[in-house]
Amino acid sequence: MPRRLLALLLGLSVTTGCGARAAGQDTPREPGASPRTSVRAVEPAEAAQAFKLLGRLDDAWRKRDCQTVERLTTWAEKTLGGRACEATRNGRPAPSRKGYSDAEFFLPATAGADRWFVALARRPHPAYFLFVHEGDDWRLAAGPVPVKGEPREPAGGAVPADDPGAGVGARLAPQRYLTYLTDPAGVSGVTFPKGDIARELFDELVRRPRKVRPDRLTSDVRLLVGPQRALLLPGGGALVIHALEIEHRQRAGPGRSSLRHPIYGKDELRGFTGKGRVAGLTGTEIVLVVTEVTGGTGVSTVAARRSLATLTTG
């Protein structure tokens, strides 16, 4: 199978501290009696106000206002709002943005200047969001990440890095995805439950090169650079937000001047490259993942979203 495997090991940090959870339809309840470990801890009212930036972001996408999209995002969402936003000005449809509401906020205490929280919106369908305070304002780092099945509700606190169970499991969760997706022979022993999104993605990576023949397709999977975020789950375990980056390289077969089975559609090709037919392309996708870690090593995908970030010819 013409597929190059890339295992990129990253040092991933897990934020320490404890926290509180607020719930309500975008209007949080009064904070509980949990002790605050930092004067910079995120307050419920602050989280509710930050959640409102989703409306401004949706409006910016509708207007193809890429500068505002960039200003309101960071980490994965900034990557997805760069070339992908510019491509909407060339005819590529803008992403469908829905008015999310009925949100619960999970507010870990902060470590130093690192301030963040997770929102679980219930309407129009459950989805997770990660917000990070960067510079002088809140920005969306990941979301929406649609839930598959029942959402998991964190206990509220961030996972301590020195926790011998949840801490280690949370730190290694992204690497387990990478190992699984770059191990077609299955020798690593890493597995995911039947029906898990990770298994569906693995099957696609294995089968797609055969499906696009005579074109040639190779793929690399790596971790998206940046700190992961992890929250404790009731009864043990952790909920981890992280991301993968998948790069596909497709080339026309021998004697051909254009791809026979391009893996991206005409809207994507024209939006990103201005062309309808190409002899080769390189596309980079971001896969946002929310993972449940149980028993220290058990992992399963709770929510995921896959989006095209860049597409070039050649």
Chain center to CA of 118: 13
- How many domains does the chain fold into? 1
With contact defined as beta carbons under 8 Å apart, do 154 and 232 qualify? yes
Q: State the Cα–Cα distance between residues 176 and 82, nearest whole angstrom.
A: 28
**Domain assignment present for 3:** no
Rounded Cα distance between 216 and 209, Å, is 7
In a domain, 4, yes or no: no
pLDDT (tens digit per residue) in 29-49: 333 334 444 446 789 999 999
Structural domain range at position 247: 19-313
pTM of the model: 0.84
pLDDT at 123: 93
- What does the pLDDT look like over 87-105, one tens digit per residue? 998 888 888 778 899 999 9
Structure tokens at 264: 């991206």
Q: What is the pLDDT of residues 150-184, one digit of tens each?
A: 999 998 688 876 676 778 888 899 999 999 999 98
Q: What is the mean pLDDT of the chain?
A: 85
> DSSP characters for 2-14?
-------------
* Main-chain dihedrals φ then ψ at residue 183, nearest 5 degrees: -130, 75
Query: Which is it for strands 137-146 and 216-223: parallel, antiparallel or unpaired?
Result: unpaired
Residue 12 lies in a domain: no
Least confident of 81-85, 107-111, 179-183, 247-251: 107-111
Distance CA 139, CA 190 (A): 34
Q: 272 by DSSP, 3-state: which? A: helix
Tell me what pLDDT residue 7 has.
Answer: 35
- Residue 7 belongs to some domain of the structure: no
Residue 109 is assigned to a structural domain of this protein: yes
Half-sphere exposure of 259 (CA within 13 A, CB side): 25
1 within some domain = no
Residue 69 lies in a domain: yes
Residue 13 lies in a domain: no
